[in-house]
Structure 1
Amino acid sequence: MSNSNDKDDLIIYDDNDDIKDLSSDSGDEVAMEEVTNAGTSTAGTLSNEEIRDYQVLSQTELVDELNKLSSETSAVLRFNGSICKALLHHFKWNKVTLIERFYEIPETSNTDSFFRNANLLDPTKHSKIEGKVDYCKICYELRQLTGLLCNHLFCRQCWSNYLSCKILDEGRPYVTCPELRCTIVADDEFVLKNVDNKQALRSYHKLVLNSFVECNILIKWCPAPECGRAVKVPHCEPRKILCKCGCLFCFSCSQQWHEPISCDLLKKWQKKCIDDSETSNWLSANTKDCPQCQVTIEKDGGCNHMTCKNLSCRFEFCWMCLGPWAPHVSGSGWYSCNRYDDDAAKRARDSQERSRAALQRYLHYYSRFTNHQNSLKLERKLFEKVSEKMEQMQVLGFSWIETQFLQKAVEILIECRRTLMYTYVFAFYLVQNNITKMFEDNQSDLELATEQLSEYLERELPNEKVAEVKQKVQDKYRYVEQRRQILLKHCVEGRERNEWEFCQATIENKTDFKGM
Structure 2
Amino acid sequence: MASESEDDFMLEDSRDYSDMDESGFASSMSDNEDYADEEDDVAFDGVFADKQRKKAYEVEYSVQNSISLQKMQDQEVSQVATILGLPTKDSTMLLRYFRWNKERLFERYMDNPEKVLQLAGVAENAKQGSSALILAKNIPGKGKFMCEICCDDDPEMETVAIACGHRFCRTCYAHYLTQKIREEGESRRVECPQDKCNVIVDEVTVEILVDDKTFSKYRELLNRTFVDDSDHLRWCPAPDCEYAIECNIPSTSLTSVVPTVQCTCGLVFCFGCGLADHQKWMKKCEDDSETANWISAHTKECPRCHSTIEKNGGCNHMTCRKCRHEFCWVCMGPWSEHGTSWYTCNRFDERSSSEARDSQTQSRASLERYLHYYNRFANHEQSAKLDQDLYQKTESKMEEMQQTSDLSWIEVQFLKKAVDVTVQSRTTLKWTYAFAFYMTKTNETELFEDHQRDLEMATEQLSELLEKPLERERIAELRQAVLDKSVYVKLRREILLEDTAKGLLEGRWNFFVDLK
TM-score by length of 1: 0.65
Larger relative contact order (Cα-Cα within 8 Å, sequence gap ≥ 6): 2
Q: Which amino acid aligns with 2:135?
A: G
Q: Structure 1: state its 5+ residue gaps.
A: 1-32, 39-44, 259-265, 283-348, 509-516
Q: Which amino acid aligns with 1:63?
A: Q
Supply the distance in 2 between the matched residues of 1:55 and 1:488 (Cα, whole angstroms).
21
> Does the CA contact (< 8 Å) of 1:36 and 1:244 recur in 2?
no
> Does the CA contact (< 8 Å) of 2:87 and 2:127 recur in 1?
no
2:263 corresponds to 1:243: yes
2:160 corresponds to 1:151: no
Supply the distance in 2 between the matched residues of 1:94 and 1:47 (Cα, whole angstroms).
37
User: What residue is the counterpart of 1:203 in the other structure?
Assistant: 217
More displaced 10-residue stretch of structure 1: 489-498 or 403-412: 489-498
Q: Which amino acid aligns with 2:187?
A: P
> What is the CA deviation profile of residues 158-203 of structure 1, one whole-angstrom value per residue up to 9, with x for unaligned ones?
222222222223322121223222222211111111123x443232
More displaced 10-residue stretch of structure 1: 407-416 or 432-441: 432-441
Counterpart secondary structure, 1:154: strand
Matching residue within 122, 136, 142 for 2:147: 136
> Does the CA contact (< 8 Å) of 1:129 and 1:151 recur in 2?
no
Counterpart secondary structure, 1:469: helix
The 1:279–1:112 alpha-carbon spacing in structure 2 relative to 1, beyond 3 Å, is: same
User: What residue is the counterpart of 2:425 in the other structure?
Assistant: 416
Supply the distance in 1 between the matched residues of 2:259 and 2:410 (Cα, whole angstroms).
31
- How far off is 1:244 after superposition? 3.1
CA RMSD across the alignment: 3.6
> Does the CA contact (< 8 Å) of 1:36 and 1:245 recur in 2?
no
Structure 2 matches for 1:90-239, cutoff 5 A? Answer: 90-102=97-109, 104-105=110-111, 111-122=113-124, 123-124=126-127, 127=130, 130-131=134-135, 133=137, 134-142=145-153, 143-174=157-188, 175-196=190-211, 198-233=212-247, 235-236=249-250, 238-239=258-259
> What is the CA deviation profile of residues 367-422 of structure 1, one whole-angstrom value per residue up to 9, with x for unaligned ones?
32222223333433444444444444444443444234223322321221121111
Supply the distance in 2 between the matched residues of 1:220 and 1:47 (Cα, whole angstroms).
28
Q: Which amino acid aligns with 1:458?
A: E
Supply the distance in 2 between the matched residues of 1:203 and 1:36 (Cα, whole angstroms).
36
Supply the distance in 2 between the matched residues of 1:225 and 1:231 (Cα, whole angstroms).
15
User: What residue is the counterpart of 1:479 in the other structure?
Assistant: 488
> What is the CA deviation profile of residues 272-307 of structure 1, one whole-angstrom value per residue up to 9, with x for unaligned ones?
2334xx47999xxxxxxxxxxxxxxxxxxxxxxxxx
Supply the distance in 2 between the matched residues of 1:420 and 1:466 (Cα, whole angstroms).
29
Q: Which amino acid aligns with 1:181?
A: K
Supply the distance in 1 between the matched residues of 2:234 and 2:394 (Cα, whole angstroms).
34
- How far off is 1:115 after superposition? 1.0
Q: Structure 2: state its 5+ residue gaps.
A: 1-31, 38-47, 138-144, 293-356
User: What residue is the counterpart of 2:323 in the other structure?
Assistant: none
> Does the CA contact (< 8 Å) of 2:87 and 2:129 recur in 1?
no
- How far off is 1:482 after superposition? 2.6
> Does the CA contact (< 8 Å) of 2:384 and 2:423 recur in 1?
yes
- How far off is 1:157 after superposition? 1.9
Counterpart secondary structure, 1:115: helix
> What is the CA deviation profile of residues 120-163 of structure 1, one whole-angstrom value per residue up to 9, with x for unaligned ones?
21422585665263322222222432132222222222222222
> Does the CA contact (< 8 Å) of 2:59 and 2:260 recur in 1?
no
Structure 2 matches for 1:366-385, cutoff 5 A? Answer: 366-385=374-393
Greater C-alpha Rg: 1
> Does the CA contact (< 8 Å) of 1:85 and 1:188 recur in 2?
no
The 1:383–1:186 alpha-carbon spacing in structure 2 relative to 1, beyond 3 Å, is: farther
